[in-house]
Structure 1
């Protein structure tokens, strides 16, 4: 039995998979926030590169990966599929556990899968500068590297609590030439309005998005980029699942369960959509589970409504499961998962019953991460520990039932720049955050007024 399963460089996918083509019910259209009419490509031109807008609205099943992007993917792709034999033994489970190791990328996470094509399309269009937001810093680091490759300027609005908790991610971005600003900041009207109400605001992805969008639309030579949530980001990430399909076949396996941690949906979509294709088109029996933080439970306790993708209300209105754009998540260490809403594709799939959700308390995630580190030798990112925790739950369930399930999860990144979080966990300085129904209702129930 092989511990690791590799593909050759010529097996890097040539096309991305667009699940919208195979969905029973297509996602509802985004709306222009000013007119409440269906969003047009022209509405998005000041914000995104034209080719990315086409991908966002495409219903084509396959979209070709530019050769220049595929060549850059060769820096680290294909990534290995690994059999978690050490974890299996520790759990005493009959389940076979596999993980796709996206932590081997230069930036330590899956985010580079979308950062490179986004920078490529902007460069091709003649854009000179990009703006973006980042939570834990994984997306910011990825776009910093990609911008450096294509000679683009970059401003990154980094959620303030992560800016303070994760200085090494900030240093990574700066090493690749990015300008990193803690958000909320005084550099934008959006940031100033937030700070006027709450000078000690620790930030959120929604606030950082507001600032980055505001900066982009003021400069005709600039465009905004996003690391999750949107359709074209999910599209780019499907290289993960497309490679995994080939590798699972090489192992003589097909997963019964596919798991990804969930913030806005990028790595979850990347690992799961190619497998969901078989469920949608062939009726293949497979469970797909989104692992979200219990402190930010948009898929499990949010409402399916039109909502803004940012806090201030500069983005289009998106049909999604959301806790409300005013929701202020707890300062958990999985900064990449501290987002109030879910992508429109995942939201529709959730609404139609094609995916499941499990909300995991913070302490359980770090317990799972520490066990994984001790059995597989890889210290996982705090975001990835959510997927590991669900994999452990399902493996123990298989043990109780005596059923040899095959489990696949995405290890979205390593945690070597997140050691302060592990330090807090091991020293007993970490806690779970419990949200009451009343707390969630404060922001969630205001959504009826938007449309």
Structure 2
């Protein structure tokens, strides 16, 4: 079976809350000033009550509102595709499947959380959302979702990506978003950064500081985050829920699930419904793939740290490279983050998931192989998962063992062609 496609009626009508399956409870976020555990009221200046409730929920299943489902149906369920041409090229006995989230109107998995975040803010009377974006996938998704629910949108785009990826900015502006390169001169956070380093390439941590500052200053504005937080991974669980149904249709039992990680949202969404099985019988491998220049899991330490550079956000218990860490510019801008989602950090600390990292050259080589065999140009972020899937398929070949490998193609790379061109020039 080449493509496993679910009917619209088979799209999940609930999100899966993996928090209930964690081997140990998450440590509480701490207030950035008092360093005491955060109370729900502390989050009200930047988040709607419904998302605050989801952030701390202990319910396994959380219903997807009808208006959110209606928007999802423009592109969901997404296909699970057998990579037969890639298998033939590698001459491997492994069966390789990829979940294609790049077919969403925004071009990536980010719309899965942008839609509910915009919806929940709109029904609570918020008029504007502010956010950060690295490669522009999250900014594009939130800009689109805000237009669905008549919200204004301001996006602080990491300057390195702002300069590398003009078409992402154009897409955001198409949906009437205001897009600013971060660090910018419009916020105190941005000005402080520019005073220290006028040529700063920016980072997600800096852009988060600017976006949170903007939200706190304006009572009709909230902040939206595209990764890291529990409610974001909750919304992304729709990916794994669909994969579980699709694999059942294909009569497959996955042995390896792979996703790229920056903050952890797409990987968390893929593996959420499989964590319980992993803990119970340990027969499945869940592998997170990082860029070597921002490898918070494999090179960071587990401790409380701020989610942003300026220390505006709550302190989260996570693997981190330090909130002042500014990674060098890479084309996988969506993965240039200093920390990892608390849920993913919890799973890694307890050895439920694995992690590895690759350099930029090797992931572009994998991306080219995938493009030439499967005919899809992947986002540089997604190419990290492709690289690991290829490596695992080659191990299966060496061992002469069949193996079922599933990776998440989190987004397409058609707005990243300049990155491919520059990488080719370098090599």
Q: What TM-score, normalized to structure 1?
A: 0.94
Q: Does 1:198 align with 2:197?
A: yes
Q: CA deviation at 1:191?
A: 0.3
Q: How far does the alpha carbon of each residue in 1:50-90 deviate from its partner, in whole angstroms, 9 at most, with x for none?
A: 11111111111111100110111000000000000011111
Query: In structure 2, how many angstroms separate the alpha carbons of the residues matched to 1:23 and 1:275?
Result: 12
The residue aligned with 2:19 is 20
The residue aligned with 2:423 is 425
Q: CA deviation at 1:425?
A: 2.1
The residue aligned with 1:358 is 356
The residue aligned with 2:72 is 73
The residue aligned with 1:404 is 402
The residue aligned with 1:237 is 236
Backbone CA RMSD of aligned residues: 0.7
Q: Does 1:166 align with 2:184?
A: no
8 Å Cα contact 2:118-2:142 kept in structure 1: yes
Query: In structure 2, how many angstroms separate the alpha carbons of the residues matched to 1:132 and 1:353?
Result: 32
Query: In structure 1, how many angstroms separate the alpha carbons of the residues matched to 2:79 and 2:119?
Result: 25
Q: Any stretches of 5+ residues in structure 1 without a counterpart?
A: 431-451
Q: CA deviation at 1:283?
A: 2.3
Q: Any stretches of 5+ residues in structure 2 without a counterpart?
A: none
Query: In structure 1, how many angstroms separate the alpha carbons of the residues matched to 2:366 and 2:223?
Result: 35
The residue aligned with 1:227 is 226
Q: How far does the alpha carbon of each residue in 1:88-135 deviate from its partner, in whole angstroms, 9 at most, with x for none?
A: 111111100000000000011000000000000000000001000000
Query: In structure 2, how many angstroms separate the alpha carbons of the residues matched to 1:409 and 1:235?
Result: 19
Q: CA deviation at 1:284?
A: 4.8
Q: How far does the alpha carbon of each residue in 1:169-211 deviate from its partner, in whole angstroms, 9 at most, with x for none?
A: 0000000010000000000000000000000001000000000
Q: SS in structure 2 opposite 1:295?
A: helix
Query: In structure 2, how many angstroms separate the alpha carbons of the residues matched to 1:356 and 1:26?
Result: 19
Query: In structure 2, how many angstroms separate the alpha carbons of the residues matched to 1:49 and 1:154?
Result: 16
The residue aligned with 2:257 is 258
Query: In structure 2, how many angstroms separate the alpha carbons of the residues matched to 1:297 and 1:22?
Result: 25
Q: What TM-score, normalized to structure 2?
A: 0.99
Query: In structure 2, how many angstroms separate the alpha carbons of the residues matched to 1:107 and 1:163?
Result: 17
Q: SS in structure 1 opposite 2:38?
A: coil
Query: In structure 1, how many angstroms separate the alpha carbons of the residues matched to 2:420 and 2:326?
Result: 23
Q: How far does the alpha carbon of each residue in 1:324-374 deviate from its partner, in whole angstroms, 9 at most, with x for none?
A: 001110100000000000000100100000000010111110000000000
Q: Does 1:273 align with 2:267?
A: no
Written as runs of structure 1 = structure 2, the 5 A alignment for 1:361-380 is 361-380=359-378
Query: In structure 1, how many angstroms separate the alpha carbons of the residues matched to 2:272 and 2:379?
Result: 22
Query: Which of 326, 329, 338 is the aligned partner of 1:340?
Result: 338
Q: Does 1:392 align with 2:372?
A: no
The residue aligned with 2:289 is 291
The residue aligned with 1:113 is 112
Q: SS in structure 2 opposite 1:191?
A: helix
Runs of 4+ in 1 over 4 A off after TM superposition: none
Written as runs of structure 1 = structure 2, the 5 A alignment for 1:26-41 is 26-41=25-40
Query: Which of 327, 330, 333 is the aligned partner of 1:329?
Result: 327
Q: CA deviation at 1:277?
A: 2.5
Query: Which of 411, 414, 433 is the aligned partner of 2:412?
Result: 414
8 Å Cα contact 2:21-2:275 kept in structure 1: no
The residue aligned with 1:217 is 216
Written as runs of structure 1 = structure 2, the 5 A alignment for 1:305-324 is 305-324=303-322
Q: Does 1:129 align with 2:128?
A: yes
